[in-house]
Every structure is written in C-alpha cells, then in structure tokens.
Structure 1
Amino acid sequence: MCGIAGWVDWTRDVSLHREWVVGMGETLTSRGPDTRGDWFSTHCGLAHRRLIVVDPAGGTQPMLRRFGERTMVLVYNGELYNTAELRDELLAKGHTFESYSDTEVVLHAIAEWGLAATEKFNGIFAFAVWDNQSQELLLGRDRLGVKPLFFAQLGQGVLFGSELKAILAHPEFPRRIGAEGLAEILAVGPARTPGHGIFENVQELRPGHVARIRNNEWHIQAYWKLNSWTHEEDEETTARRVHDLLVDTVERQLVSDVPVATFLSGGLDSSVVTAIAAQYFQKHGKEPLHTFSIEFAEMEKHFQANEFQKSLDAPWALKVSQFLGTVHHPEVFDTPDLAANLHQTLPARDVPGMADIDTSLFLFCKRIKEQFTVALSGESADEVFGGYPWFHRAESLQAHTFPWALQLSRRVGMLSDETRAWLNPEAYVQRRYEEALSEVPRLPGESSEEARIREISYLSITRFLPTLLDRKDRMSMGCGLEVRVPFCDHRLVEYVFNIPWKLKTAGDEVKGILRKAMEGYLPEDALHRKKSPYPSTPHPDYVELVRSRFLERIAEPDSPLRPLLSMTAVDEWVSASRQAMPHRPWFGQIMAIPQMFHYLMEVDDWLRTYRIQLA
C-alpha cells in the first residue's frame, strides 16, 4: 500500500511551489516508508510514498505513460486482485507493458476505458490520474471504501490526499470546522458520515465513486452501489456459492512478493480466512502460515463473561492455530504499553478514534510489521452476514435511528447546554439516519421483517463498516503494514446482501450460512463459537490512567474541550467510574465510561495539536 497526494490549479503554476506538494507527500511517510516520488507540470503536482509489495522495480510512482498524443500520470494506493485477467485483456487490445505491477495495469486500463475501468477492477484502491492533454484530474475509490481518499477545493484548484493530514499540510488551506464537522466528532463519533471530511471544504470521495475535475468543474458519480434482487437458490447451493467466492477471494489476496500473515483471534471470521490461507500454503508447498493474535496482560484475572463477550479469545486462537498447523504469535500488551502510546493513534487517524482499541491495534500492527509487510484480516463479515447483536434484537430492529446510536443521549449528555444548542446533535444524527434509509435498495414484495433486515444490512455495510475500515487502514498503515480484507470483496458482498435472512441464519444460528459454507475447515466447536468482539482491556489500572489524564487535561485553563462540556455531567461520570462496574468492550457507540474519558481526551488533544478553528 501507499500514500498519495497532490495539488492541481488551472490558474497557477504549482511547480513554483514544489516544496508544498513534497511536504504533503511527506506527511504520508508511514503509509509508504520504502520510497518516495514526485512529478510536476505547470498546473499539477503529484506526490507518492510507496510500501513495496509487488514488483519492486516496475511499480515506481508517480507512473507516467504516453498513449499516442496523451501523457497520463498516475499515483495509486491499493492492490488489484484481478491484475492478470486485466493485463491479458489489455494486451489483446494492443497495449504493451514495462512491468508486472498492478499499478501499470491500472493506468493502462484508465487510458483504455476511462473512469469506467473501475467497474472492471477487483481490489482495494484509491487513485489520481492527471491527463496532460485534456488537463483533467481523475479520482477513483474502491467499492467498499477500504482505501481512503480525501479532496478539497482551494481557490480555483483542488487538493487531494490519502489522509486528511496531506491536505492540512498545504500552507494555504484553512483548518476551519463548523457545527456540522464538530457534530460528526461529538455526536456521530468514529462512525462518521460517508463523504464527510470534517473540515470545511473537505470531502471524502465516497466508496464506489469516481470524480472528473477540469477547470474547476466537478463531476462526481457512483460507478457501484448495492442492488436488491430475489435470491432463488436453495441452502446447499447458497452455501457452496459462499464457499467458492470466499476461497477464490482469499487465494487472490495471498498474491505478494513479500511474506503474508493473517490475524487470528479465534473468532469465526479470522479463523475462516486463516483456514483458507493455511490450506493454500500447504497446497502450494509454502512454509507454514504465520498467525497473530492480540491479548492483554491479566485478562484471566479481570475478565468477566457478558452478553457481548462470552469467552476469552486466547485459548480459541491457539486451538485453531494448532488445528491448522500455523506458526502462532500471541502478542501480549499491558496497561503501561497503552499508557506509553495513548497519543500515538491521533496522528495516524487525524480525528479522534476508538480509544483503547485503536491504541492496542496500533501496537499490534507494529509488532506484526517487525516480521511481515502484508496480513489478511476478517473485517466486514459481521456487516455482510448479519453477525452483530442489532440484527437480532427487537430494540434495534424497532428503533428509528442507527442501531448503534441507541445510547446517543447518554453520549451527548456530556456536552454543555450551549454546545448542544449549537450542534443539535440528536437532530443531526436523525437527519443522517433518514438520508441513509432513503438510499436503501428496496425489493418489491418483501415482507416487512425482511425489509427491515435489509435496511439494517445496508446501514451496517455503508455506515458502520467504514468505521472499522478507517480504523484498520489508519492503524496498520501508520506502521507501514498492509492489511487486506477478503470479506470486502464486492462479489461476495453483492451476493450475500441478497440472501434471505432465513438462509443467512441457517440452522437457526448467527451467520449460519457462513458456518455451513466452511464446514470441515475448522474444529466443530470453533466453527460454531459465538461472536466475540475485538478485545479491550478490563484492567482497573486503565480506568485510573484515562480518568486521571482526562481530568488533568480539562483542568488546564487553556483546554479547548472544557467549554464544550457540562462539568456537572463530568463529575457524575467520574463518580460512576469509581464504582464497581462490568467491563464492556467498545461496540458501536456504546462506550464504557473509561473509553469515553479516553475519547474526550483525544478530542482535547485534537483541538490543540491540529490548531482547529471553530467557525
């Protein structure tokens, strides 16, 4: 994976400010620690940071190719998993190649088919292409939004970058945030609205969208979206189709010129990905697959089973590893590790994130990066197959809001009356919910129960999943680790989205059709293990750590967060945190009190270090 950035202005000579564009690119060094490259013409400057995974010599960027009278230059972040097929198709059309990199295939495909080439891509990507003949900037992003891409208007030009920090690095760009941007931080939280760039005049190119910009005329359109159709296959055929799609997807994503590992928590999703990968390694005579799991010190001592987390992960990860014959690495972290890295995740995300599970994932990826450059993970299976509790609980199915926003009033109760009057957070979240519902592709003749499940599925895939993909991308790329997510393959997502709920829950079991599809790949008890979310630490030392640091922050006279909070509510939360309470892992917007302290501390940090101007 890589980091991309650029500046185009049709009224200025951007090459006179090369250092600005170079500086934008340098903010993305962690995304591409191996090499850097820059390219300039009168009106366009492109910067690239590269993490070498495929074709070290041939994949250098920015990549320039001439097609007759046209000169096209590409910066690209991602991986194509159907490179070979596309190269063959382009060769048949007369194209010639200088490398075997997917980067060159992307550029030739865009030269041949324009932005319609994205419809042919199977992969995770964000790209920018400058056409020197037409003086156009072309932008594109993968269907599920695995790879990020932000852009902003600046005068008569446009800035873009893999992360917000690249845009913010331009010295002429103002760092203003209005009520809507602050509502995304304080009300919507990590599950922010797709396309919203938080800062004024900044947008995120939405998943499955492309943009064509010329002389400051913008044309943005979707090239992919979820559609609904009647599923007519029986249970056996459906399970076989899911199996075949998953095996094909995982095997495609194992292609790399550097070693590949997998995340293995012992839960169903990571175990399925690992099982397919381990079988592939064995079939092709490779060394045993390496797997990694995350653990916290003294979990056995402080862990209490609850409705969200039924059992510890560690024994299950070890059991699956032994069954599959992998080389397993349990990575253990303690509260001092979290304390030493509390402020490391904000620079990777550019906005406040997910408290301790961001910090632990960052440390986890950092450990894996010591040995590997690429890993596969199980993200999105719960969104696609319906694994979250909100698919199964009446209170969520009957709610008239996002199912993960049921405790919104509790969350915004920390805000002062003035802040709530300014942001109107409940109304803002409700508006975003109604916007999302208006997009749902309806299926005529569907029962009200099936229609509601379709709504929840759509909301989960298009609104909640980006939360986890953002987190995985920023924490992993913040360490120079590429993480691939097979369950985000658009072919699988399209197919499973339309499987009726009765089939999805085959055997009257959560994600039953996935379990049926993967029979024989895992031990029976592991195959049928109940969902366990990403772990967070229950250690009381963590509670004391974040509470004390939060109170220190807001006690400072220059704290930018303090005026936004209700100190009465803060006192109540502090008092509650000193009482015995069950540990609850972060889930949706259900933040435990310690995690809320951690999150608000990040907000204070963000307002200070990013020099935010509240409009």
Structure 2
Amino acid sequence: MCGICGLVYSDLQHKVETHVLDKMNNVLSHRGPDGDGAYIRDNVGLGHRRLAIIDLVTGEQPLSNEDESIWIVFNGEIYNFPELRSSLQSAGHAFRTNTDTEVIVHAYEEYGTNCLEHLDGMFSFALWDDREKTLFAARDRMGKKPFYYTRNSEGFVFGSELKSLLQHPSVKKEIDPVALHHYLTLQYVPDPYSIYKDIFKLPSAHFLILKDNTYQIRRYWDVVYQPKIQISENEAAEELHRILKQAVKKRLISDVPLGAFLSGGIDSSIVVTLMAELCTEPVKTFSIGFNYEAFNELPYARAIAEKWGTEHHEFIVTPESMADIIPKLIRSFDEPFADSCAFQTYYLAQLTRQHVTVALNGDGGDETFAGYPRYWLDRYVRPYAALPRFITQGIIPEMVSRIPEPSDIPVEANWIMGLKRLAQVAKTSPKASIVRWGSYFSEDMKQECFNDEMRSLVEGHQSDAFLAEFFDRAYADSFLDRTLYTDLLNYLPGNNLVKMDRMTMAHSLEARSPLLDKEYVEFSARLPEKMKIKGRRTKYLLRKMWTDSLPDNIRDRNKRGFAAPVEEWCKKDLRDLIQDRLLSPSSKIYNFFRPDCIQHMVNEHQKGRINHGRRIWTLLILEEWYRNNNSEV
C-alpha cells in the first residue's frame, strides 16, 4: 500500500521541476512512511511513497523494466502475482525483484493494456512507456485504491489524493457546485466528480491512456447479473465457502504482521472465522465501541473473539475524542465527507496499527449480497414505479403537503412524519435506493435551502437522476440486481471504500477486503435473488451457510455496521460547535445556503421536533472543510 503522484507536461521542453514533484510526493508520506522515490525524464515525472508489505528489501519504486523504457508507480496489492510471475517467466521475462509491482511492468510488455485482465487485486498505478510516449493509468475493479487527475493548459497531473495535486502551482481550487449538490444528498462526492472543478476521479474498473496531449478513458471490466446460475442452495453454499476461503487465503500473503477488523456483524465475523481456520497462530482482532448502548457493537465482537480464541483489542469512542478528531478527518479526506462512521474507523485504524500493518475487513458484503434493509424496503416502492408520474410526482405529494408541518402538531404524532416520508419516497426515483431511504438532503430540501445563486448553478442536476443512469445501464433484469449494481458503482467506491482507504492510510495501515474478491463478486451477482433476500431476511444464503460456525445472535442479527450516535451528538455534545460554525454570521456555508433555513433546521432538531442530525452533521463537515481549505466558489 502506497501513495503515487506524477505529471506529464504538454510542452516537451518543459522539464519537470524536482521541487514540485517532491512537494506532491511528500504530502503523501502517511500513505508510505517506509521510503520514497522519483523518476524524472524531461517533461515526465513519477513520484512514490512506500508502505513496505511484500519484498521488504527490493521493492522500491518507481520501478522499471530491464532497459528502463517502462517505469511504474503502483499503489495496492496483486494477489495472484506469484502465478502471474511464473507465467511471465515462462514467456521469457526476467525479474530482478520479488515484488508484485514488477509483475505489472512485464504483464504490460506482454499484453499491453489487456494486462488488466490478468491482475487480481486492489490497485491504482501509472505506467510511463517512454518508447510510445504514453501514460497508462488504471484503477482496480471495485475502486479500492484512489486515483485523482486533472488536465489543464500545462499538462496532466495525478495523485492518490487531492492534496497531492493541489501542490502543483497550475492546479486551482474552484468548488464544483454540482459536486457539492450531490454531496448534500449522498454524504460523499461521487465518481467521477471531485469537489473541485476540472479535477476528477478515475472511476473503478477504468483505465486511462494519455498520448500526444490527449487522453481517453475506458472501462475494462463490469459486473453482470445475467444469466442466472442454475444451482441449489447447498451447491451455492459450498461454492461460496470455497471462494471465500480462497479469497481470505490470498489476502494472508504478507511479510509483515496482519490482523482483522471485527465489528460483530456477519461479514467481518465470516472473515475472522476463515482466518482462524487458515492461521496456525491466534488471529489478532480489533473492535471499536461507544458508551451509548444502542450503538455499541462490542458484545457481539467479543462473542466471535471468544469463540475463535483471538487476540482481541478494543477502543471506546467518546464525544470528547470525537470532537478533537474532526480537523484530522477533514485533512485526511480532502473533500467533504459526512459518513459519521469515519470516526470509529479512524480510531480503529489507529488502534490496529499499534499491533499490525495489514488488516482484513468485511467491506463489500452488503453490496454483493443485499445486506442493507433498504433492499427489502424497496419492494414497497415498486408499485409506485408502475403508476403514472402525475400521481407519484403530483397528486400524492400535493395531498400530503396539505398536512401541517411537524412544528404545528404534537411530537407524538409520528404517523404525520410517516406520511411526510411516504410523500418524499413517492417523489424520489425508484431507481435511486440510497437517495430514497437515506436521511440526508432531498432535492426539495436543497432547493428550499440553497440561495438564488446556488439554485441557478445546479439547475437541471438531480442526485437521483445521476444514480438512475447506472440503474438503467446494469446488465440485469431484476429491480434488486439493478440496485446492487448501482451501489457497487457508486456507494461502495464513493463512500465505504473511501472511508476505509483514507482512515487506514492516515495511520499507514493496509486494509484488505476478501468480500470484494473478483470471483466472489462475479459469482454472487449471478445467484438468484431468492438466495440474497427472503422476506425481510437479508444475506439469506450467507447466514444459512454459517449455521454451525457463528453464534445465533451474530448470524441472525439485523444489519448495523459501525453506526455512530450523531443525532445525540448534534443535540448535546456538539451543540456549541454547531452554534459557532453553522449559526455564525461568518459561516462559510452561507455562500450556498439561506441562513434562516439552517437556523430553522438546527432549532427543529435540538427541540426534538424532527431528526435532522445527519443533515446538520453534513453541513458541519462542509463548513469545517471549507474553513480548512480556504476555498472560494
């Protein structure tokens, strides 16, 4: 796991400045504290920061082929590199290191850009082919590893994180209002946007070719859900167990100590169970918790730790420690990012790094096997999709809009809020599950709270319509499969994997995700829907196949994940901070919002009339990010 950066100037006579590349590289030192390197040749520069995991002695980068005509900077792990190395040696390629990085160089020599078909792992890399004067960059299938880039009048600049690109004097900070618009609804800035205009993220499963001052981006892999595999539950369970065990085994390859995150949910519990089966020593497990009982997952994590005799470690997050860490989170993400679970992931990574350098986790289980409750809730929305738009977009919302606002009725009248919620669901595209069931900003809320200038800047853009494009593109027949596809291409790489990458890399910790294994993702996608959801039971087959291995209270419990009590924090512990940041005349977010709308929202939440906790949190993070970056629209 590492940090990469680089630039290719358009003018062949414009030599790369060593001090500029050094600045871009040095701000990524947290991603690679074990070493740094650079390749500069005329108008091309590549930079690398190394976190040593495999081949601790000869794995320095940038790395070249034998005649130094090809150079690469690489971030990630190639799990099948021993087999691929052997195959390439048989084809006549000579290796001088034991690192997986060199495998990519020779695979490119052998297969060109088709080398991506042969790579099994998580990665982002940039490869300079000096003979062809071409930059070849790529990102892994699921989007585990990040890749930012921009193209301006001076040339092409890229890096693992935004902060690296911003070290280059030609890269400007100008907020993209459409990206901000999507952030308010999704709590993250989705690919291919970044929060800044003209800076983009290379989407997952895509590669980029830069040649003759022009670049092209192409998809090299996709998830397909058809045709469905004709298989019994027992046969599917047996194959899933084989695939998952192999996925975990591949991710145990390391020259440094490793362990596992353990939340107490079924996904991380499965990973730890398989690790316990494969490892000869006790697995090191790490968990995080809260003093709020409703949000504390530690008892469930302990149950798994005790069952498998792991070497278990825990940490409790308190509101005091949470408030202290906000500026560090802002610096780690570079963009507004409002998933409150980032706090415990940050502390979990900090705790884990004190003991190991690599940690396996359960990321991906929900998006591949339909783990979120909204997947079965979506079934109740499907009838709306069949109704004419004048009913779902007109009559129903109009009828419910006549109901008094919650501030004018007793708080106990929860059915009023239910009807309000139903109206919002009816107005939201059925193709955008996360927008429909999330509790962030709806399109109506944004239009109500935006100032006139912001409304004009985002006119014609809707977050649910943005997601619907992926829903429609999915190679799938069922509503559920299309929703899973949309989440795999958006919510997973935009939120969950960003959170895991930035929080672990902040502590120079490598995170590996067996449930994002290519074979597992492809196999689960083609399983019948009934093996994923039965009634309200999510991850049906995964739960059934672990009947004998997991305690009942782990196997049968509902989805929780690393939830945070942000609603309570916004009422009590963060009240003064919210007053200072969001309700001050100097608040930066008033560049986009009407002050009276923000004031009304905060008052409703703190008086217990409406739970605006996540919306207030989203605004608080935006304000903190804005102040930290001194950005201007």
After TM superposition, the score normalised by the length of structure 2 is 0.87
Q: Which amino acid aligns with 2:288?
A: I
Do the aligned partners of residues 579 and 508 (structure 1) sit closer, same or farther apart at CA in structure 2, a change above 3 Å counting?
closer
Does structure 1 conserve the Cα–Cα contact (< 8 Å) formed by 2:570 and 2:617? no
Q: Which one-letter code corresponds to 2:142 in the other structure?
A: L
1:334 to 313, 318, 342: 318
Give the Cα–Cα distance (whole angstroms) in 1 for the partners of residues 332 and 104 of structure 2. Answer: 27
Q: Does 1:79 align with 2:113?
A: no
Structure 1 partner of 2:193: 196
**Cα gap change, 1:567 to 1:474, in 2 (>3 Å):** same
Superposed, which structure 2 residues align to 1:305-324 within 5 Å? 312-324=296-308
1:532–1:508 CA distance, 2 compared to 1 (3 A) = closer
Quote the residue 1:378 is aligned against.
Answer: 362
| Distance (whole Å) between structure 1 residues aligned to residue 87 and residue 552 of structure 2 | 43
Is this contact kept in 2: 1:414–1:570, CA < 8 A?
no
Q: Does 1:594 find its partner at 2:613?
A: yes
- From 446, 469, 473, the equivalent of 1:412 is 446
State the alpha-carbon separation in 2 of the partners of residues 382 and 400 from structure 1.
19
Report matched runs for 1:323-402 at 5 Å: 323-393=307-377, 394-397=379-382, 398=384, 399-402=429-432
Deviates more, 1:328-337 or 1:390-399: 390-399
| One-letter code aligned to 2:452 | E
Cα deviation 1:561-580 (Å, max 9, x = unaligned): 12322323222222223234
Equivalent-residue separation in structure 2 for 1:13 and 1:475 (angstroms): 40
Q: Distance in 2 between matches of 1:396 and 1:277?
A: 40
* Structure 2 CA distance for partners of 1:396 and 1:269, relative to 1, 3 Å: farther
Answer whether contact 2:10 2:156 (CA < 8 A) is retained.
no
Distance 2:547 2:94 in 1: 44
Q: Counterpart of 1:504?
A: 532
Q: CA deviation at 1:198?
A: 2.9
Alignment partners' CA distance in 1, 2:158 and 2:134: 14
1:29 maps to what in 2? 29
Deviation at 1:184, TM superposition (A): 2.9
Aligned partners of 1:505 and 1:83: how far apart in 2? 36
Aligned to 2:476: 442
Q: Deviations over 1:189-241 (max 9, x none)?
A: 31x33222332222211111111111112122111011222221121111111
Q: Deviations over 1:34-67 (max 9, x none)?
A: 1111110002111101111111111100112235
Indicate the percent of aligned positions where both proteins have the same amino acid: 28
Q: Which residue of 2 aligns with 1:224?
A: 221
3-state SS in 2 of match to 1:75: strand
Is 1:429 aligned with 2:463?
yes
Measured in 1, the distance between the counterparts of 2:567 and 2:483 equals: 34
- Alignment of 1:457 with 2:484, yes or no, is yes
Q: Secondary structure at the match of 1:110?
A: helix
Name the stretch that deviates more: 31-40 or 352-361: 352-361
Partner SS, residue 98 of structure 2: coil
Question: Does 2:598 align with 1:570?
Answer: yes
Equivalence map 1:497-536=2 (5 Å): 497-505=525-533, 509-536=537-564
Distance 2:568 2:153 in 1: 51
Q: Pick the aligned partner of 1:215 from 212, 231, 234.
A: 212
Question: CA–CA distance in 2 between the matches of 1:57 and 1:525?
Answer: 46
Once residues 22 and 462 of structure 1 are traced to their aligned partners in structure 2, the CA distance between those partners, rounded to angstroms, is: 33
Conserved? CA contact 1:4–1:48, under 8 Å: yes
1-side partners of 2:210 and 2:486: how far apart?
30
Please report how far the alpha carbon of residue 427 of structure 1 lies from its aligned counterpart in structure 2 after TM superposition.
Answer: 4.0
Give distance in 2, aligned partners of 1:179 and 1:351.
13
Cα deviation digits, residues 469-509 of structure 1 (max 9, x gap): 11111111111111111111111111111111112236973
Unpaired runs of 5+ in structure 2?
385-428
Contact 1:546-1:594 at 8 Å conserved across structures: no
Give the SS at the match of 2:501: helix
> Could you tell me whether the CA contact under 8 Å between 1:125 and 1:146 is conserved in 2?
yes
Distance in 2 (alpha carbons) for counterparts of 1:171 and 1:570: 36
Identify the range of structure 1 (376-385 vs 408-417) with the bigger mean alpha-carbon deviation: 408-417
Q: Could you say what secondary structure the match of 2:3 adopts?
A: strand
Q: What displacement does 1:539 show?
A: 8.5
**1-side partners of 2:466 and 2:339: how far apart?**
24
The 3 A distance-change label for structure 1 pair 123 and 278 is same
Matches within 5 A, 1:290-309: 290-296=284-290, 298-300=291-293, 303=294
Report the AA paired with residue 4 of structure 2: I
Report the Cα offset of residue 92 of structure 1: 0.5
Which of 498, 510, 513 is the matching residue for 1:470?
A: 498
Q: Deviations over 1:363-382 (max 9, x none)?
A: 22111111111101101101
The alignment partner of 2:490 has SS state of helix
8 Å CA contact retained: 2:8, 2:157: yes
Q: Is the 8 A contact 1:144 1:488 kept in 2?
A: yes
Query: How far is the alpha carbon of 1:163 from its aligned partner?
Result: 1.0
Q: Are the counterparts in 2 of residues 412 and 425 from structure 1 also a CA contact under 8 Å? A: no
- SS in structure 1 opposite 2:54? coil
CA 1:567/1:255 → structure 2, altered by over 3 Å: closer, same or farther? same
Distance 1:518 1:111, change over 3 A: farther
Q: Indicate conservation of the 8 Å contact 1:396/1:403, yes or no.
A: no
Q: Distance in 2 between matches of 1:413 and 1:212?
A: 39
Structure 2: distance between partners of 1:389 and 1:322: 28
Q: Is the 8 A contact 1:386 1:457 kept in 2?
A: yes
Secondary structure, counterpart of 1:344 in structure 2: helix
Distance 1:79 1:23 in 2: 25
Contact 1:175/1:612, CA 8 A, preserved across alignment: yes
Residue 108 of structure 1 corresponds to 106
2:62 is matched with 62
Distance across 2 between alignment mates of 1:26 and 1:420: 36
| Whole-Å separation in 2 of the counterparts to 1:24 and 1:568 | 41
TM-score using structure 1 length: 0.90
Q: In the TM superposition, what is the alpha-carbon distance from 1:87 to its structure 2 partner?
A: 0.7
Partners in 1 of 2:339 and 2:374 — Cα distance?
A: 22
- Alignment correspondent of 1:255: 253
Distance 1:275 1:232 in 2: 28
Equivalent pairs, count: 581
Of residues 596, 618, 625, the one that matches 1:606 is 625
SS of the residue aligned with 1:572? helix
* Contact preservation (8 Å) 1:377, 1:486: yes
| RMSD between superposed Cα atoms in Å | 2.2
Aligned-residue offset at 1:541:
5.5
Structure-2 separation of matches of 1:49 and 1:147: 14
Partners of 1:354 and 1:179 in 2: how far apart?
Answer: 17
Question: What's 1:280 paired with?
Answer: 278
Residues 379-402 of structure 1, C-alpha deviation per residue, up to 9 Å, x if partnerless? Answer: 110110001112101345555341
Distance 2:536 2:432 in 1: 25
Q: Determine the C-alpha separation between the residues in 2 that align with 1:275 and 1:411.
A: 44
SS at match of 2:511: strand
Q: Quick check: 2:288–2:347 contact (8 Å CA) kept in 1? A: no
Deviation at 1:512, TM superposition (A): 1.3
Q: Distance in 2 between matches of 1:218 and 1:539?
A: 45
